[in-house]
Amino acid sequence: MSIHVVLDCADPEKLAGFWSKALGYEISGFAEQWGMLKGPREGDVFLLQRVPEPKAGKNRMHIDVTAPDIEAKARELEELGARRLSAEPVSQFDMTWITMADPEGNEFCVCKE
């Protein structure tokens, strides 16, 4: 069994460039309202689905991107168009993360591995 993640967005082609670099996935292609990214392991799929309505409110689910150096990863993602939503890293339950948003405003976290 595998789980595919689907992110609703306005522009799959634009976000594919961001998310492929953020996740280390390859852009597989585009068809109709879809953009597909494939990960390094068999079954790793991240789909971008074009929807007509703009994002409204906070995501009910989000992506966690892990990295050994979350400050460096956050800076890298900011250079790709992300923005920080938390000024400082947050630490709870022996975990540390930075809350961010992708170029369309979808929230995600950069978490310490």
> What value does the mean pLDDT take over residues 31-54?
95
pLDDT band at 59 (very low <50, low <70, confident <90, very high): confident
Q: How far apart are CA 82 and CA 112, in angstroms?
A: 18
Domain ranges of the chain: 1-52, 62-113
The pLDDT of residue 113: 87
Q: What is the CATH number of domain 1-52?
A: 3.30.720.120
Q: What is the CATH number of domain 62-113?
A: 3.10.180.10
pLDDT surpassing 90 at residue 28: yes
pLDDT band at 2 (very low <50, low <70, confident <90, very high): confident
The pLDDT of residue 77: 97
- Taking the CB of residue 1, how many other CB atoms lie within 10 A of it? 3
